[in-house]
Structure 1
Amino acid sequence: MVLIPSVNNPWPGGGGGDAPELRPGLEEADITPGIEGFLFTALVVVLLIVVVRDLVKRMRRMKYRAQVEAEYGEDEAEFPGEITESEISAAQQRSRDAAAEARFGPAPTTPAPPAENEPHPPSR
């Protein structure tokens, strides 16, 4: 009794034995897909090349968009019409600062931290 039939017969449906007889006048070398098979295979290869090139182009475009979004993502406007820091020139920023100083007074300055060799004031 055989528990696993595929061990003894690797090809389902028979196999083994002699190949079937060919009709008279036909040899094994004459059995080919012909020009139609060659043309179909060539067409599949050409289509595969076109599809892969298109895929690579789209993936490269997606990668560049992601890089640009990452670069400019932090300066993105919160609402339409807002001017972000990356869109302001140095001259525009100076004029904005001067207008803010004229309207609200000088900007408060924070005291600089003491140098390492200066003694710290005693804490209470």
Structure 2
Amino acid sequence: MHQLALWIVTASTEDEFDPNDVTPGVIGFVLTILVMIAVLLLVLDMVRRIRRVNYRAEVREQLEAERQAAEAEQAGDADGESVDGGDDRPKG
């Protein structure tokens, strides 16, 4: 085990490298820009979708409130009361 660690350390110090081989260069720069553009487009799409979901939820709430108001109005009419609270039933 110790020999393996010693071999790894000595092997890494013996190798000479060309700085041009270990830098990202133009290809790395272009790929980084492409990844940044892809992430930006995904974030914009996500924001658009979240906004759409929120608007749909608001519309559903409004429709539900209108439906409940209409049901309450119909229930009031069925009881013989008008919307203003008066009695529409004939007297006598």
Q: Same fold (TM over 0.5)?
A: yes
Q: Which residue of 1 aligns with 2:76?
A: none
Provide structure 2 residue ranges, at least 5 long, that are not aligned to the other structure.
71-81
CA distance in 2, matches of 1:36, 1:17: 31
Q: Which residue of 2 aligns with 1:66?
A: 57
Q: Which residue of 1 aligns with 2:32?
A: 41
How big is the shift at 1:74? 3.2
Structure with bigger helix share is 2
Q: Which has the higher contact order (CA 8 A, sep 6+)?
A: 2
Q: Which residue of 2 aligns with 1:120?
A: none
State how many pairs are aligned. 70
CA distance in 2, matches of 1:71, 1:62: 14
CA offsets 1:99-124 (integer angstroms, 9 cap, x no match): xxxxxx9337xxxxxxxxxxxxxxxx
Structure 2 residue aligned with 1:21, among 15, 19, 30? 15
Equivalent residues in 2 for 1:30-109, closer than 5 Å: 30=20, 31-76=22-67, 85=70, 106-107=88-89
CA distance in 2, matches of 1:54, 1:107: 58
What's the % identity of the aligned pairs? 27
Provide structure 1 residue ranges, at least 5 long, that are not aligned to the other structure.
78-83, 86-96, 98-104, 109-124
**Structure 1 segments (4+ residues) deviating >3 Å:** 13-16
CA offsets 1:75-121 (integer angstroms, 9 cap, x no match): 339xxxxxx84xxxxxxxxxxx6xxxxxxx9337xxxxxxxxxxxxx
When normalised by structure 1's length, the TM-score is: 0.44
